[in-house]
Amino acid sequence: MGVFPKFSGPTEDKMPHDLPKAYDPTAIEDHWAGYWVREKLFAVPTPDPAVQNPAGSQSFTILLPPPNVTGRLHMGHMLNQTEMDILTRWRRMSGWLALWVPGTDHAGIATQMMVERQLTEEGTSRQKLGREAFVERVWAWKRHYGGAILEQMKRLGVSVDWSREYFTMDERLSIAVREAFVRLYAQGLIYRGAYIVNWCPRCQTAISDLEVVHQEQKGHLWEIKYPVLGDGGKETGEFITVATTRPETMLGDTAVAVHPEDERYLHLHGKKLRLPLMDREIPIVVDPWVSREFGTGAVKVTPAHDPNDFDLGERHHLPSINVMDDRAHINENGGPYKGLDRYVARKRIVADLETQGLLGAIKDYTNNVGHCDRCKTVVEPRLSTQWFIKIQPLAEKAIAAVKPDADGNKAIRFTPENYEKIYLNWMEDIHDWCISRQLWWGHRIPAWHCAVCHKITVPEPGSTGDPAACAHCESEKITQETDVLDTWFSSGLLPVSLFGWPNFVNRAPGAPGPSHLGTGEGIEDRADFDAFYPTSLLVTAFDILFFWVARMIMLGCWFAGDVPMADGRSRALADSVPFREVYIHALVRDANREKMSKTKGNVIDPIEIVKQYGTDAVRFTLASMASPGTDIAFNVARTEGYRAFANKIWNAARFIFMNVDRAAEIGITVDRKALGGMPTVDANAPLEARWIVARLHETTKVVNQLLADYRYDVAANTIYQFFWGSFCDWYLEIVKLRLDFSENANGSAAKSALTTLIQVFEAALRLLSPFMPFLTEELWHAVYDGEPPTKSIALSRYPQSDDSQIDHSALGAMIPLENLITETRALRKDIGVEENAVVPIKICPGPGINVSIGGGYEPFLRGNQAIIERLARVSQVLFVSQIPPCDLKRHTYAGDVSVIYEKKIDVAAERERLTKDIARYEKGLAAAERQLGNEAFLAKAPAHVVEGLKKQEAETRLLLEKAKAALEALPKE
Ligand SMILES: [Zn+2]
Ligand SMILES: [Zn+2]
């Protein structure tokens, strides 16, 4: 009975026009989530460079911040993905070539730890397995369990291109990682050296500054006395006292430093000290870096275990003695303490110093101790040979990309804007980046050590395959570096590597590829790169601004900068950046604004909430609270509210379809060609039609602008107000007056009302679709009775407003009308008119100062009397010139209004109700009295229970008396 031919679309056995009575998000969402993936709706094939984008449409490219392959979806992901999906769907519907690329990160340290834990349970270890078998084991784990988070994303219906899904260890991405390394090496930007790194003794790897979390910790400051040596190495009896929070590091001391102008030590310049416990002679050095005010003004110098000492050691050519092994146990350089754990050694050293009378005061001391972000072990600053990137030329470009140029333009724009400053501050203070990790899972560093000449061989840029011999002495005794690259090195390359870099590099369009790569198979075309690089936007959380965002900017600008533009021009910085915009989203906290944490037990699992309320309601909750720079206090009460919103729209659809079917019975149908655009009305249309069309255009205009400004919150709330308030509460109620399909009705008026109704509803679904993709998909297919013009609402056009359709006089006229109706309803409530009663009102019309209404309000109100009667449940409107002062009245824009009403009582019903109440009270009283008379009960029950019971008894007695009096007062039959 639908408007359109029978349905034969995607849901086969179902006729979508006959919606189930109840809105059931689970059924809808599972169905459409599967459909979107199956139909590859969001796949964007590599554009043919010969064919320009249709109508020169712009491209919108966005990368999913790749979750760890070990990851599970949390609320932060859900917010991040909701925001990306809203924008991608909105751009796609607005005619852009919208590509969203998903993938996962191999997450070196996290994944290795997870598999190592499994091995421990099995009673083995990675060392027992050996490197090759261990790496194979991790791959097996990845194949079985990895990427579960992407399956979760599929259920959430995110509109990504699954055909482009990647893993950071995929071969083509690994080629890019290798090429990036060897190029930087050839450019002199990668070096190897011994420096102080943050060493995690548990993970047994260097970790970056960013992976160290500092926590205040109560500890001690131990004072140690170092004997001064005189001529012939004899102790003079004088001491220099130093203070330390880590006494065990003294085993590696190679000097004591004082300020050159510190008068306390002037006479000791050039003298030596005896290092207690180790019996080593160490010099006293002078260095202006030493603070005279701190402690005794003398500091022990341990170059191998402290970054400042390391620098000082370099300045004074002091030896560096590393006294700890990878597990932070004392090594052979620690003399008698060899083999002891660092904290066991500490105790023993303090005790030994005390025995020898060399221990000074022990003071309580609170300091900031670095912990490994992964395993929470205290990090040991330790000298270690690592690979570094010389950050400077890369950082300069990355700064220039964010700073405004002479014309005030920025190649990369941050939202919220304050992150620009945070980024720049950090970049201007950046140190060389330690890129090596002592892990087995990851991209192994492409460098080979020679056993003969001890030099390093790194392959030439553009080469493939591993070197067979040392590049310096031609010896074949070379072995590959065992370290792997920091995970952020590969994820930092993603924007360039995902679109085919470096395989097309140095290759002008159409020209044969570089000889080492051949010209045929395996050569990637640069069409992807030309179409999608730079990406449009990065949406991410603050916590990876430096880990990831800054690295993508550095590596993106550096490598893309060398790739000529499609037309052969050299690439400007503005086109080298990995993305043009960065949007940093807020944190999702619990309803009490507390940070979610496992220990607090307040973590909200998005999948659980989705099961309860539906994805659409959860997405809408997040969007409606996502105001830039403000954390979200996630409250399920709001989600419940948005589920009710979805339900309201569902019911509206059912109402509309019912009318469509009724109209069809008398031969009125709506042309489906009238749908899919923006509705228009002429000036003679009824007020509510002109008004709702104006509201739709007005809302559309605002929402498009808000989305461009990342104001998801205001956009969501604006649509909500429109759909629930304007459309459902007002327009639908009014339009019921016009939907008269009885035989003697005005057919053309009814048809035109029905047409506008469906047009507005269909457009409103499209407006809402990026926020609630499932509900709108289901209802949109139903509007077309299963024969929609495109496979999905996501491929239809996003509403665009037309200013000429924003009829301001209609918008203005609805205000006094709404006001009058709302006030009349309130007045009815105040004076106790029953919900369903229809009663007369008096209106004393106002003079009509509202510009939209000419000649006072009376003609206007008379013209819309049917609306007032219907919406305010009015039987009759009496226009009067004055409302008597004794009448209860309300003042409205349209005039004063009073309700004519005398409360009538249905005596029989009231008698029955009161009689029932009295019986119930008496029963309750009897029970309470029985209990209060029970000695045994009174003896045992706590005082507050007895007290409560007595109070309850008194209250019931009062209610009983009132009910009896009311019954008595009823008129006799
Ligand atoms: Zn660790
Ligand atoms: Zn060699």
Minimum-distance ligand to the CA of 457? 2
Three-state DSSP state, 618: helix
User: Residue 893: what pLDDT?
Assistant: 82
Instruction: Specify the pLDDT at position 110.
Output: 85
Look up residue 702 and give its two tokens. 């605002």
826 Cα–ligand 1 center, Å = 65
Q: Residue 387 contacts by C-beta under 8 Å, 6 or more apart in sequence?
A: 190, 191, 192, 434, 435, 436, 445, 447, 481, 483
**β-strand 895-899 against 839-845: which pairing, if any?**
antiparallel
CA of 343 to the centre of ligand 1 (A): 17
Token representation of residue 605: 């699992």
- pLDDT 10s digits, 741-754: 877 677 788 999 99
Per-residue pLDDT, 646: 97
Q: Would the pLDDT of 442 be above 60? A: yes
Tokens of 528: 């992807």
Q: Please tell me the distance from the alpha carbon of residue 337 to that of residue 322, in angstroms, as a whole number.
A: 13
pLDDT for 626: 92
The pLDDT assigned to 451 comes to 96
Between CA 633 and CA 590 the distance in angstroms is 5
pLDDT band at 853, cuts 50/70/90? low
Confidence tier at 902 by pLDDT (50, 70, 90)? confident
Cα(217) to centroid(ligand 1), Å: 18
Distance from residue 447's CA to the centre of ligand 2 (Å): 13
Q: What angle do CA 293, 295, 296 make, to 5 degrees?
A: 90
Q: Which ligand is the nearest neighbour of the Cα of 212?
A: 1
CA of 196 to the centre of ligand 2 (A): 27
Predicted pLDDT of residue 903: 67
HEC string of 403-419? CCCCCCCCCCEEECCHH
Q: What is the CA(187)–ligand 2 centre distance, in A? A: 21
Task: Copy the structure tokens of residue 533.
Answer: 């690089």
b/e burial code for range 827-850 (CB count within 10 A of at least 16 → b)? bbeeeebeeeeebebbbbbbebeb
DSSP codes of every residue in 88-129: HHHHHHTT-EEEEE-EEB--HHHHHHHHHHHHHHTT--HHHH
pLDDT at 57 over 70: no
How many angstroms separate the alpha carbon of residue 433 from the centre of ligand 2?
27
Tokens 């104006």 locate to 694
Q: What is the mean pLDDT of residues 394-409?
A: 94
The rounded distance, in Å, linking the Cα atoms of 655 and 647 is: 12
Residue 54 above 70 pLDDT?
no
Give the residues across from 479 on adjacent strands: 449
Ligand with an atom nearest the CA of residue 438: 1
Cα of 471 vs centre of ligand 2, distance in Å, is 7
Residue 509 confidence (pLDDT)? 46
Q: Which residues pair with 221 in a beta bridge?
A: 363
Helix, coil or strand: residue 221: strand
Per-chain mean pLDDT for the chain: 89
Ligand found nearest the CA of 109: 1
Ligand 1: centre distance to CA 941 (Å):
57
Q: Which range is least confidently modeled, 469-473, 542-546, 708-712?
A: 542-546
The residue among 880, 877, 851 whose CA lies nearest residue 863 is 877
Separation of alpha carbons 839 and 828, rounded Å? 9
Pairing relationship of beta strands 97-101 and 59-63 according to DSSP bridges: parallel
Ligand positioned closest to the Cα atom of 452: 2
- DSSP, res 330: B
DSSP tally for the chain: helices H, then strands E? 30, 29
Query: For residue 800, which amino acid is it?
Result: Q
Q: Is the pLDDT of residue 555 over 50?
A: yes
The separation between CA 435 and the C-alpha centre of its own chain, rounded to angstroms, equals: 27
Residue 209 has pLDDT above 90, yes or no: no
Q: 866: Cβ–Cβ under 8 A, 6 or more apart, which residues?
A: 737
Summarised one tens digit per residue, pLDDT across range 683-736 is 899 999 999 999 999 999 999 999 999 999 999 999 999 999 999 999 999 999
Distance CA 115, CA 5 (A): 57
Q: What is the pLDDT of residue 9?
A: 39
List, for residues 684-693, the tens digit of each pLDDT value.
999 999 999 9
Nearest Cα to Cα of residue 11 among 33, 35, 37: 35
Ligand 1 mean position to 586 CA, how many Å? 27
Burial of 562 (0-12, 13-18, 19+ CB in 10 A): middle
Alpha helices per DSSP H over 831-906: 857-863, 865-871
Find the range with the poorest average confidence among 3-17, 238-252, 339-353, 770-784. 3-17
Q: How far is the CA of 376 from the centre of ligand 1 (A)?
A: 6
Sequence-ordered list of residues with C-beta below 8 angstroms from that of 896, at least 6 positions apart, any chain? 843, 844, 846, 883, 889, 890
Average confidence (pLDDT) over 540-546: 87
DSSP bridge pairs for 63: 101
Q: How far apart are CA 100 and CA 91, in angstroms?
A: 11
- The number of the ligand nearest the C-alpha atom of 327 reads 1
855: alpha, beta or left? (left if phi > 0; alpha if psi -120 to 50) = left
- DSSP-assigned states of every residue in 330-343: B-GGGGGGTT-BHH
- DSSP-derived pairing of the beta strands 535-541 and 579-585: parallel
Q: Give per-residue pLDDT as tens, 569-596.
A: 999 999 999 999 999 998 899 888 888 8
Q: By mean pLDDT, which of 555-559, 724-728, 798-802, 856-860 is the weakest?
A: 856-860
pLDDT over 60 at 56, yes or no: no
Ligand 1 ion: residues within 5 Å (CB): 200, 202-203, 372, 374-375, 377
Q: Distance, CA 181 to ligand 2 centroid (Å)?
A: 21
Question: Taking 70 as the threshold, does the pLDDT of residue 49 lie above it?
Answer: no
- CA dist., res. 231 & res. 72, Å (int): 68
Residue 665: per-residue pLDDT: 86
Q: 431 CA to middle of ligand 1, Å? A: 22
Which residues are CB-contacts of 939 (< 8 A; sequence separation ≥ 6)? none
Report yes or no: 323 and 304 within 8 Å, Cβ to Cβ: yes
Cα(285) to centroid(ligand 2), Å = 39
Q: For 837, which DSSP code?
A: -
Bond from prior residue into 336 cis (ω within 30 degrees of 0): no
**For residue 483, how far is its CA from the centre of ligand 2 (angstroms)?**
20
Provide φ and ψ at 99, rounded to 5°: -125, 125
CA of 547 to the centre of ligand 1 (A): 17
CA 449 to ligand 2 centroid distance, Å: 8
- Taking residues 535-557, report their average pLDDT: 92
**For the segment 225-234, what is each residue's pLDDT rounded down to a tens digit?**
999 998 888 8
What is the per-residue pLDDT for 416? 92
Residues of the chain by 3-state class (helix, strand, coil), percent to 5: 45, 15, 40
Q: Which of 24-28, 142-146, 159-163, 755-759 has the lowest mean pLDDT?
A: 142-146
857 pLDDT band (50/70/90 cuts)?
confident
Q: How confident is the model at residue 5 (pLDDT cuts 50, 70, 90)?
A: very low
Q: What is the pLDDT of residue 429?
A: 87
Question: For residue 328, how far is its CA from the centre of ligand 1 (angstroms)?
Answer: 12
pLDDT band at 740 (very low <50, low <70, confident <90, very high): confident
For residue 14, the number of C-alpha atoms closer than 13 Å in the C-beta half-sphere is 14
Q: What's the Cα-to-Cα distance from 545 to each of 487, 541, 542, 558, 583, rounded to whole Å?
A: 15, 7, 5, 18, 10
The answer to whether residues 502 and 533 touch, using CB atoms and an 8 Å cutoff, is: no
pLDDT at 879: 93
What confidence score (pLDDT) does residue 7 get?
36
pLDDT at position 348 over 90: yes
How would you classify the pairing of strands 103-104 and 166-167? parallel
Amino acid sitting at position 121: E
| CB half-sphere exposure, 356, CA atoms < 13 A | 17
pLDDT exceeds cutoff 60 at 524: no
Identify the nearest ligand to the CA of 453 by its number.
Answer: 2
Q: How far is the CA of 439 from the centre of ligand 1 (A)?
A: 12
Alpha-carbon dihedral 515, 521, 522, 523, rounded to 10 degrees? 60
Report residue 545 as tokens.
């601004």
Ligand having the closest approach to the CA of 470: 2
**pLDDT surpasses 50 at 515:** no
Please determine, for residue 851, whether its predicted confidence score (pLDDT) is greater than 80.
Answer: no
Confidence of residue 452 (pLDDT cuts 50, 70, 90): very high
List Cβ neighbours of 120 (8 Å cut-off, separation of 6 or more). Answer: none
Strand order in the sheet with 190-200: 205-207, 190-200, 380-389, 433-434
Residues 6+ apart with CB under 8 A from 56: none
Note whether 42 and 794 are within 8 A (CB): yes
Residue 259: phi and psi, rounded to 5, are -70, 140
Ligand nearest to the CA of 451: 2
Q: Nearest ligand, CA of residue 378? A: 1
**CA 377 – ligand 1 centroid, Å:** 6
Starting from the CA of residue 477, give the closest ligand: 2
pLDDT at position 672 is 86
* Ligand nearest, relative to CA of residue 449: 2
Ligand 1 centroid to residue 374 C-alpha, Å = 5
- Give 432's DSSP letter: -
pLDDT of residue 852: 57
Nearest to 89 by CA among 782, 790, 766: 766
- Give the pLDDT score at 4: 38
Per the listing, tokens 């002891």 go with 340
